[in-house]
Structure 1
Amino acid sequence: MGDKSHTQQPGAAGRALTAERPSSLRNVVLVGHSGAGKTTLVEALALTSGAVNRAGRVEDGGTVSDYDEIEHRQQRSVQLSLVPVEWGGIKINILDTPGYADFVGELRAGLRAADAALFVVSASDGVDGATRMVWEECEAVGMPRAIVVTHLEASRADYAQMTAVCGEIFGADDPDAVVPLYLPLYGPAGPDGHSPVTGLLGLLSRRVYDYASGERVERDPDPAELELISDARNRLIEGIIAESEDESLMDRYLGGEDIDVKTLVDDLERAVARGTFHPVLMAAPAADGARQGLGTVELLELITGGFPTPLERTALPVTTPDGRPRPDAVCDPDGPLLAEVVKTSSDPYVGRVSLVRVFSGTLRPDETVHVSGHGLADRGHEDHDVDERVGALTAPFGKQQRTLTRAIAGDLACVAKLTRAETGDTLSAKDDPLLMEPWVMPDPLLPLAIEAHSKADEDKLSQGLSRLVAEDPTMRLEQNQHTHQVVLWCLGEAHQDVALERLRTRYGVQVDPVPHKVSLRETFGDRATGRGRHVKQSGGHGQYAICEIEVEPLPPGSGIEFVDKVVGGAVPRSFIPSVEKGVRGQAAKGVAAGYPLVDVRITLRDGKAHSVDSSDAAFQTAGALALREAAGEARIHLLEPVAELAVMIPDEYVGAVMSDLAGRRGRVVGTEQAGPGRTLVRSEIPEIEIDRYAVDLRSVSHGTGRFSRSYARHEPMPPQLADKIREQAERGT
């Protein structure tokens, strides 16, 4: 961990890295807010490990940071990417995740595929609320974590202050478990008065690692450096000993014994792997022409020495596709095949590509596997229970795909031509199908209504949308039968932008966003009567039908009730269903602003018929006319859908959130504590007021709030709003 002997590793560029056993694998996910420097750190680690040359390029072309076209235009990462590197004979699968909240689904996939997390924190920007929440998620499942501080070159960067902040935020329960392993070595101040970081002071080894020359040079500290080391070293040792499994170690240390470095390093590595100790390191990209970035050797040693192997991961529960329990998945290359699709993407040349984490067994190209899909019917994902032939296995590196002969338990690989498998699906042996419980997907709550730009786009829209949601399980596709809109439910505005861009560039479908409609309803505010008269005579058979109805309001949720109270055969029995069909058809179209009529009783009281000219069509028309006339005499209420909203927020934002809800016509129905420092606010609020709540809550709570919504009922809309909507309906807008 930076306190051992280090040499430059042989380059891995141009060849696929293949793990021979799970113990020689490490899977680590990089977590941090957008702009924290995760991708830059990946590039620095690739350079130090020899995966790329000094120009940042791999031998067979491309770079580790080759993005797709959308990422170039967005100027940020929008998807999970895998970069395999090698250090000391250990294959490290580095999973780089987007830092923007709209792509938290990619982050969750990275957490599922990894066995440890590296939290990347900018020395100039600090720790945002979303990063804190991810830390708490990892803490809840005991995932090993470490922290690396970046952007040390910024003029306002303060490493000491940032490590203190990390201790307060990430070590709230145990401040001694979040401490630095190194201190920065500063060079001469520049013209702006800022002193650059040129090396590291190793606290355990009492050695200096000087990167000023572009090469890592190890030397003894001078007296001033040694004094700096001594103060911080004592706190680090106490933190390590507190987590040690050797209960006698603390007594020996307090008794004045000088604990040897090897014992401390071994205990440190075990505590990190258990997820009880979280060291803080620093890193910076290599200077021009240099072979190593500052702190990258130390970081690679932490990953290979302190992070757990796949063998140490808690076994995951497994069932058969029909729900019968099976033994938990154990990381054994010779065990039954069990793998999971953690990401799905499309390649213009090879088609669908699935990034797969193998949990048990060994996956080989050209074998037939069983695909079991958990199903997300509410998001447009169908259940899967089919056999498919695996195409080529590859390891990605930038835009390159390097061929693999196999992927053993614990490893990750890309699989080509799985045409039915989607993100979250399970791959297993065709004669022993298995199913893993999928990870929790964030619920998309920002609607985007779209329509095809042209007839040609309309013909391709259905296929394009199905492929889009197959790639992204955080997206929900809705064909709203009430508003007749196609709606993509997304996680945020950036998520929407990427969806539209992918439809256009990947699937050749141009769509136009349109205003999203909520499902309004109409109902009668009081009792009314109406008479429908449809009488026409124009040669041959005429049309003759008269009916009289009474309409009265019913309690919410009653729907449409039709009652026949005709006496004396005024309307022949054969035409009673025709009248009902006519009034129900008109009710579906609406009687005021074009929204369906609900919660009324329509009673047929009287009518007239002609022995020759009456017909089914005539009485349908008369029924519709009667309902329209009754509506002209009554007060018609517009009903709007009301949602039950549950908002989870830190305590400091409760006032701001409740004030915001009140401004949206929301009614707070209760609050309750939901864990340390968090409050759950429950409210009822019109759905028309929360169309953009996924964006607005993020702003109000500084990215720390979450919410869920569910339909409660329809309620009368305030008259001034209802009048505005009626005016828009009359104008046809």
Structure 2
Amino acid sequence: MGDKASAHTGAAGRAPTADHPRSVRNVVLVGHSGSGKTTLVEALALTAGVMNRAGRVEDGGTVSDYDEIEHRQQRSIQLSLVPVEWGGVKINLLDTPGYADFVGELRAGLRAADAALFVVSAAEGTEGVTGATRMVWDECAAVGMPRAIVVTHLEAARADFDAMTGSCAATFGGDDPDAVIPLYLPQYGEEGPDGHAPVTGLVGLLSQRVFDYASGERKELDPDGEQEARIAQARSRLIEGIIAESEDETLMDRYLGGETIDYKTLVEDLERAVARGVFHPVLAAAPAADGARQGLGTVELLELITGGFPTPLERDTPAVTTPDGTARAALSCDPQGPLAAEVVKTSSDPYVGRISLVRVFSGTLRADDTVHVSGHGLADRGHEDHDVDERVGALSSPFGKQQRTLSQCIAGDLACVAKLNRAETGDTLSAKDDPLLMEPWSMPDPLLPLAIRAHSKPDEDKLSQGLARLVAEDPTMRLEQNQDTHQVVLWCLGEAHQDVALERLRSRYGVQVDVVPHRVALRETFGAKAAGRGRHVKQSGGHGQFAICEIEVEPLPGGSGVEFVDKVVGGAVPRQFIASVEKGVRAQAARGIGPSPLVDVRVTLLDGKAHSVDSSDAAFQTAGALALREAAADAPIHVLEPVAEVSVLVGDAYVGSVMSDLSGRRGRVVGTEQSPGGRTLVRAEVPEIEIGRYAVDLRSLAHGTGRFSRSYVRHEPMPAPLAAKLREAADQDA
């Protein structure tokens, strides 16, 4: 593995295919924005023969990042699949966005993959391993996913491979830094006028060979004396790290006793340790120079993937049930087994329509089959549950902007499926006579609100359909039709996520919207007992209107709602009109005295008057509303704001800053508790009006390592000065 030269078996213009799960590798690339993931994917595709030296596939376009918004913003915003072939093995490379706002795409990539490549930049020193990247590493460790590390940007003037390797060992190794060790050392050429020495090749520590890329083609050479000294110094540590994870418990004693462990045994133990997720090799890679066919380190990386990463047969299949929740036996990655596939990404093509990226975990998915689509339980985010049969359209494999037709997709492989009009991201595809539902993967909760409204009447007509299609593609987005504020709200993961949502509505679905300030659901209540008299008397020919009622209003504890009590004596208000008074009072309370609904009061009907001819249901409803408004004019009115319980999980180094920030938001810290990994959970109660942008602010405060959740607790009185400002703003808007 890695030190074994092999000829590529890819062919430009031909979609890689797999006939058995053992010949498939599913690999997700993880790293922060700018670390070089997409460049690395293209370098691997060039070495494997999938694209030409100009960096383009024969049909035009690059092998990844073809979304029009990505081209404009110059960054990856979505998961993309690039299949290549090496040594008779199909490798599905899953390129993920590095920006935190698109972590949903990353989670989808982790779901579809069986191993991960963590890409870090040598040009950024210890900052090349961000807090967000460390969190993803921990997620992979929790499920035992095999991981390797690729150091990029070696060509940069500030690149320091040794410093980055040490940082990776300290960060990712945890209690066992010897589990994160380079397989190769960079070979440097002569220094240029700027004093920078370019990387021209790699020195293999196991094979003790030099792999020179200076000519643009990988050449295997004997090491010179200086290189032999470098190899000897680093090789022993690598061997000890491999042997420490060996399943042969006698190997360490033999090695320490002076026995020379043969190369084949070391490679086999290394491959097993990598596949088990207990050893994490570090490699280096750089794009090919102009005119070159192979980028530095790409051959070594492809061989690590094919030799050291597990096949889909070695990974557990997600748990399945029937759509009604009945447990089913665990499935295996068997092309002949029951069909169980999952939609890991949904996108729209202006010519083809909806395209679903599907990972087949069991069975074989064939074009034109009828499958059962089972829902994913995200109805709270605007994604309805599904339990329908649907015909599969064409199966294809992505190739730049083109799709190469496939006849089938076997267990362990990935493919694009056209025209699954009901299926959304996270849905399960299974046989129509044996419907299944796969256990969903964890999705982050969108906590940044974006209130929008249609720009014009034509946009209003298209808005509903555009929003439905938007959230169908992105399960990290939640659509809310707020019944209290009457706003349409898209809940997103961050500002970049919001920008992409607005751009997709405009350019893809032809809907222009205006962004409006997000409002929280305020309430109002009486601050003291008050009385009111409602008099509705009109006479304009024919039957008039006559209704008089007298009420008393008093405040109640929070959460009591609106109570109505009848204390009329002597029939002053006829029995048939008491319900009318109550209806009028409740309608006025729902509309509010000010801009917000009235809650937590008891309204007592004390007295009134009626007319034998002119009194009516409508007249007493109006009188009840008038009485409530008059009582409110003579009583202090308190504005009640919603308060949320906020739980913030943050590194210990940032606890003080987080608690201080929460206090500045009028929050009350109610407790802290230690969490694994040097983190602390801070729990606080904070007014919701103060945490509208907390998803953005916390990311800055904790350098991308903080997470939080929120849940409604209650409404409580807002400070009078702030309430006065809100009323003044509402009056100006009116």
Query: Is this a same-fold pair by TM over 0.5?
Result: yes
Q: Which amino acid aligns with 2:49?
A: G
When residues 66 and 523 of structure 1 are mapped into structure 2, their CA distance, relative to the original with a 3 A threshold, is closer
Q: Which amino acid aligns with 2:366?
A: R
Aligned match of 1:583: 585
Aligned match of 1:16: 15
Secondary structure at the counterpart of residue 551 of structure 2: strand
TM-score, normalising length from structure 1? 0.99
Aligned match of 1:3: 3
Q: Indicate conservation of the 8 Å contact 1:338/1:360, yes or no.
A: yes
- Partner Cα separation in structure 1 for residue 81 and residue 280 of structure 2: 24
Aligned match of 2:52: 53
Aligned match of 2:728: 727
Shift of 1:10: 4.0
1:317 maps to which of 295, 308, 319: 319
Aligned match of 1:504: 506
Question: In the alignment, is residue 416 of structure 1 matched against residue 423 of structure 2?
Answer: no
Aligned match of 1:451: 453
- Partner Cα separation in structure 2 for residue 315 and residue 624 of structure 1: 62
- Partner Cα separation in structure 1 for residue 572 and residue 249 of structure 2: 98
Shift of 1:121: 0.3
Secondary structure at the counterpart of residue 279 of structure 1: strand
Secondary structure at the counterpart of residue 280 of structure 2: coil
2:520 maps to which of 518, 521, 531: 518
- Partner Cα separation in structure 1 for residue 591 and residue 730 of structure 2: 13
Aligned match of 2:171: 169
- Partner Cα separation in structure 2 for residue 339 and residue 484 of structure 1: 39
1:570 maps to which of 569, 572, 575: 572
Secondary structure at the counterpart of residue 200 of structure 2: strand
Shift of 1:507: 1.0
Shift of 1:276: 0.4
Q: Which amino acid aligns with 2:621?
A: Q
Q: Indicate conservation of the 8 Å contact 1:66/1:399, yes or no.
A: no
Secondary structure at the counterpart of residue 328 of structure 2: strand
Secondary structure at the counterpart of residue 316 of structure 1: coil
- Partner Cα separation in structure 1 for residue 587 and residue 657 of structure 2: 46
Secondary structure at the counterpart of residue 124 of structure 1: helix
Q: Indicate conservation of the 8 Å contact 2:527/2:635, yes or no.
A: yes
Secondary structure at the counterpart of residue 227 of structure 1: helix
1:519-541 CA distances to partner (integer Å, 9 max, x unpaired)? 00000011000111112222222
- Partner Cα separation in structure 2 for residue 113 and residue 65 of structure 1: 17
Aligned match of 1:282: 284
Q: Provide runs of 4+ in structure 1 moved above 6 Å.
A: none
- Partner Cα separation in structure 1 for residue 512 and residue 524 of structure 2: 35
Shift of 1:60: 2.8
- Partner Cα separation in structure 2 for residue 398 and residue 526 of structure 1: 69
1:410-432 CA distances to partner (integer Å, 9 max, x unpaired)? 00000011111111111111111
Q: Indicate conservation of the 8 Å contact 2:64/2:81, yes or no.
A: no
- Partner Cα separation in structure 2 for residue 299 and residue 403 of structure 1: 28
2:246 maps to which of 241, 244, 247: 244
What does residue range 296-311 of structure 1 map to in structure 2 within 5 Å? Answer: 296-311=298-313
2:395 maps to which of 390, 393, 396: 393
Aligned match of 2:689: 688
Aligned match of 1:218: 220
- Partner Cα separation in structure 1 for residue 319 and residue 472 of structure 2: 24
Aligned match of 2:713: 712
Q: Indicate conservation of the 8 Å contact 2:339/2:365, yes or no.
A: yes
Q: Indicate conservation of the 8 Å contact 2:46/2:55, yes or no.
A: yes
Q: Indicate conservation of the 8 Å contact 2:153/2:286, yes or no.
A: yes
- Partner Cα separation in structure 2 for residue 66 and residue 614 of structure 1: 72
Secondary structure at the counterpart of residue 171 of structure 2: helix
Q: Which amino acid aligns with 2:270?
A: L
Q: Indicate conservation of the 8 Å contact 2:17/2:90, yes or no.
A: yes
Aligned match of 2:41: 42
1:624-669 CA distances to partner (integer Å, 9 max, x unpaired)? 1111110011110000000000000011100010000000000000
Shift of 1:732: 2.7
Secondary structure at the counterpart of residue 59 of structure 2: coil
- Partner Cα separation in structure 2 for residue 631 and residue 59 of structure 1: 75
Count of residues paired in the alignment: 731
Q: Which amino acid aligns with 1:53?
A: N
- Partner Cα separation in structure 2 for residue 630 and residue 371 of structure 1: 57
- Partner Cα separation in structure 2 for residue 691 and residue 463 of structure 1: 27
- Partner Cα separation in structure 2 for residue 561 and residue 683 of structure 1: 32
Secondary structure at the counterpart of residue 94 of structure 1: strand
Q: Indicate conservation of the 8 Å contact 2:6/2:87, yes or no.
A: no
- Partner Cα separation in structure 2 for residue 211 and residue 365 of structure 1: 43
Shift of 1:620: 1.3
What does residue range 555-704 of structure 1 map to in structure 2 within 5 Å? Answer: 555-591=557-593, 593-704=594-705
What does residue range 532-543 of structure 1 map to in structure 2 within 5 Å? Answer: 532-543=534-545
Aligned match of 2:100: 101
Q: Which amino acid aligns with 1:219?
A: L
Q: Which amino acid aligns with 1:4?
A: K
Gaps of 5+ in 1: none
1:466-489 CA distances to partner (integer Å, 9 max, x unpaired)? 111111000000000000000000
1:385-432 CA distances to partner (integer Å, 9 max, x unpaired)? 111100000000221100001100000000011111111111111111
Shift of 1:246: 1.1
Q: Indicate conservation of the 8 Å contact 1:11/1:52, yes or no.
A: no
- Partner Cα separation in structure 2 for residue 624 and residue 160 of structure 1: 77
Shift of 1:66: 4.5
What does residue range 249-264 of structure 1 map to in structure 2 within 5 Å? Answer: 249-264=251-266
TM-score, normalising length from structure 2? 0.99
Q: Which amino acid aligns with 2:532?
A: G
Q: Which amino acid aligns with 1:393?
A: L
> Percent sequence identity over matched residues?
82
Aligned match of 2:335: 333
Q: Indicate conservation of the 8 Å contact 2:65/2:71, yes or no.
A: no
Q: Indicate conservation of the 8 Å contact 1:64/1:83, yes or no.
A: yes
- Partner Cα separation in structure 2 for residue 671 and residue 61 of structure 1: 55
Q: Indicate conservation of the 8 Å contact 2:26/2:91, yes or no.
A: yes
Secondary structure at the counterpart of residue 179 of structure 1: strand
- Partner Cα separation in structure 2 for residue 625 and residue 138 of structure 1: 63
Secondary structure at the counterpart of residue 298 of structure 1: helix
- Partner Cα separation in structure 2 for residue 731 and residue 167 of structure 1: 59
Shift of 1:19: 0.2
- Partner Cα separation in structure 1 for residue 343 and residue 9 of structure 2: 31
- Range that drifts further, 353-362 or 247-256: 247-256
Secondary structure at the counterpart of residue 481 of structure 1: coil
Q: Indicate conservation of the 8 Å contact 1:448/1:490, yes or no.
A: yes
1:269-296 CA distances to partner (integer Å, 9 max, x unpaired)? 0100000000000000000000000000
- Partner Cα separation in structure 1 for residue 159 and residue 104 of structure 2: 31
Aligned match of 2:488: 486
1:88-110 CA distances to partner (integer Å, 9 max, x unpaired)? 00000000000000000000000
- Partner Cα separation in structure 2 for residue 621 and residue 333 of structure 1: 71
Shift of 1:731: 2.1
Secondary structure at the counterpart of residue 146 of structure 1: strand
Shift of 1:65: 3.1
- Partner Cα separation in structure 2 for residue 165 and residue 11 of structure 1: 35
Q: Which amino acid aligns with 2:671?
A: G
Shift of 1:260: 1.2
What does residue range 358-397 of structure 1 map to in structure 2 within 5 Å? Answer: 358-397=360-399
- Range that drifts further, 186-195 or 441-450: 186-195
- Partner Cα separation in structure 2 for residue 113 and residue 364 of structure 1: 19
Q: Which amino acid aligns with 1:358?
A: V
1:43-94 CA distances to partner (integer Å, 9 max, x unpaired)? 0000000001111122233221352111112211000000000000000000
- Partner Cα separation in structure 1 for residue 282 and residue 205 of structure 2: 12
1:703-722 CA distances to partner (integer Å, 9 max, x unpaired)? 00000000000000000001
Q: Indicate conservation of the 8 Å contact 2:60/2:400, yes or no.
A: no
- Partner Cα separation in structure 1 for residue 696 and residue 65 of structure 2: 30
